[in-house]
Chains A and B, each alone.
Chain A
Amino acid sequence: MKAWIMAILFIIFFAPQAQAHPHVFITPKAVVTMNNHVVSQINVEWDFDDMSSAMFSESVGSNTDEIWNLVFPPSQVLADGSQAVRSGYYTNIEIDGTPIANLTPVDFKATFVNGGLHCNFTIIINQNVDHTVKIWFDDSTIYNAFDVQRGNFQVSDQSGTSHVLQKQTEKDIDKILLSY
């Protein structure tokens, strides 16, 4: 049998568990606050697509707590109709190759600007960096799809140390790499 037919059949029968079923499209922005070789925090902004924003607005208005529950639901519906417990907050940070565990957003704020939903939150880190910081956003169910662009990420370093920001793709996930 031809390879492409096998590939299509594979997708049909096995891919339901892949949950590649994007419904909410988010453009993330972030400012990494550093001082010399210490990352203190990352201020994140997520801009939601217009149509999902309308759904959020209709569902809960501008109630921040309710929007938090919708953005980070305790369980997520997967493409195959089943549900899975949400793990993490779609935010991933790796310092010198070591993932930072238990990242929890603080100061979560939700605002609507011209109908578009903007969510802001802060990730507190306070860790030394020798060489690299990697930041990426990923929803394991792909219900939320993140459009990571290099231009939407900045570094604020009071010590004046120079660093390089670039976009990298690893295992088909777009990541922002900050390096010295």
Chain B
Amino acid sequence: MTNIKGGGVDKKVLDEIALSEDEYQLIVDRLGRQPNRVELGMFGALWSEHCGYKHSRPLIHFLPSEGKRVLLPPGQENAGAVDIGDGLAIVFKIESHNHPSAVEPFQGAATGVGGIVRDILAMGARPIALLNSLRFGPLDDPANRHLFNGVIGGISWYGNCIGVPDVGGEVVFADCYTRNPLVNALCVGLIRKDQLVSASLGAPGNVLLLVGAETGRDGIHGASGLASRTFEEERELRPTVQVGNPFLGKVLIEACLEARDSGCLEGMQDLGAAGLTSAAVESAARAGAGLRLDVSRVHRRDSGMDPYEVMLSESQERMLLVTTPEKKAGLEVVFDRWEVPCVEIGSVNSTRYATVQDGDEAVASLPIEPLIDAPKYRLEGVRPREQERLARYPLGRVPLPDDNPTRVLLKLLGTANVGSKEAVYRQYDHQVQTNTVVTPGSDAAVLRIKGTKKGIALCTDGNGRYCYLDPYAGGAIAVAEACRNVTCSGAEPIALTDCLNFGNPEVPEIYYQLEWCIRGMAAACKALGVPVVSGNVSLYNETQGKPIYPTPVVGALGLLEDVTRHVTSSFREPGDKVFLLGRAEVRGRSAELSGSEYLETVHGIVAGKPVISLAMERRVQQVCRRAIVEGVVTSAHDCSDGGLAVALAESCIGTGVGFDGAFPVVGRWDAALFGESQSRIVVSVPPDRGDALVKMAGELGVPLVELGEVTSGGRFSIDGSVDIDVSDLAQAWRGALGAI
């Protein structure tokens, strides 16, 4: 390649693309020469933590990824695909946009939505639902409020415009997310199994079409510079954040689905992190092929862009389509109909090289193999000392609060973490496409699948505080709770997607958290028989040297064979009996205070060691699902943040019914009512079905205890300890986020 200009490198250039000098030397060794600037930029993007998974790939394989419904190996395509019967597949994936959202929350979050939607679209699937798992610092800090309002506004702006319902997720607040919010967006797509599209270049001779937005200078170094290291001077990074165009995003969805149906499409890949570079190189790798691109053909937003900028731009709303020379005209007709630009930019060959030209001039020529083979780092983790200290914290010496149980309940319901998130989700269109059977606010969203009897249940979960206290247990609990939440709607969990949000993995304590969270998640996946079919990793989440809580976010997909059989978390009828599945009595042990919302809110303490029995978890979920499917149980609600009393109160607030609790509280009342031990579900049953539930639980060896009765009076009472109107509970709960 004599006509390639280049060679030489200095530290500043490497720093710009977040490559180390060792990595540079490795590139030189593998190429047998020095890369030029364009080539180095391509390596920098593909070898970034964001694209190359340098620290996480050796650990991710712990997660089970196989199952009878799994249609594609994870990582092979843009998202996981799961068989739901009736010839249909669900495609889904969660992805982070934490760093862009920290720099520019509105566009960062908006393009997070747009990006994950195009991952789903690239599989040929119609996007049918969005969920968002969000973490912020406390809202009394104006910087956090700015991030919160920006992120919610950006999600609302993009999601509402493209006509994909936003059906659920979480919003959680903790100090460690101050100025480093987590913005994890999950998209779900529906497709006929036989229509799945591969992100592969296919056979030599195929042509490459770039469709959608013009390429601009936005987002250059987004993958390498922004998402793959820590950052202090955030303002300087604003040009690395992309800007979304949801209108074009919507039109692109319709045009690409029409392209799929045209029969002229050989493959499809979205342009996400690292833009054209990763789209072209990764889809060439899938095909075992090579390609030749001409950047001079790329339609551009800015004049004077050089090949480096075109190859690394992360401009949004762009897709790479693969077709044959004969079928190309068929695709051009589709994109002309939708008035979306569609330009031929290259072709597929058998060289196994990525060759980039600018008109007649060759500007890069790189073998595909080393580009997609980023170095992997398997480090030795070190258990954080803090974790050991907090695990030994003498919870038994935590005094009972001065407030009575009723006051504590009101206080917890009024916290931002426990309280209603309606102020957030009413800003999202959660009904468009008319499939949303259970809207946000229950344990999981439920969507019907038109044309079948089926439904799917969706949720996200991940308690960073638990993972901070014990990464292994916390990781297991994240998986267990996500599965428990879809179970509480009556659905069987069939697949998971995960987003691993952690600090700097080069710090041994952080690496330890990453490794043991993944191991805990893997153990829970195996125990519950649910594979992880897609995922994403976001590292370097820290500011000013302080890492976030290790926060794996798990998205669960559940399947309901008969969608009309679903239940919600709300009590239905006065007179129904209320049971707690998973415990034989309500006994408060101080260990149950571990990592609880109560312990932090009332005592200002984050300590303890969360635990979970996965064998019990599995059986509790089995009983709950069976009882729902057989029509025994009419509501089910996971006991999680805030514990048993909060779960009972929330089950009343939805329908405005009351609860008369007649169970003895054994041991510490605060731990009994507000402790957060795992594998517990509050269910209600019609008065004549209590025996049926007891029998079912007995068959599977699941303990249960009768708690009381649903009442019509609107009063919430727990024998001798809590007594208050449900309307007062509701007021505290609804007002938790204040005016936003």
A, B assembled together = no
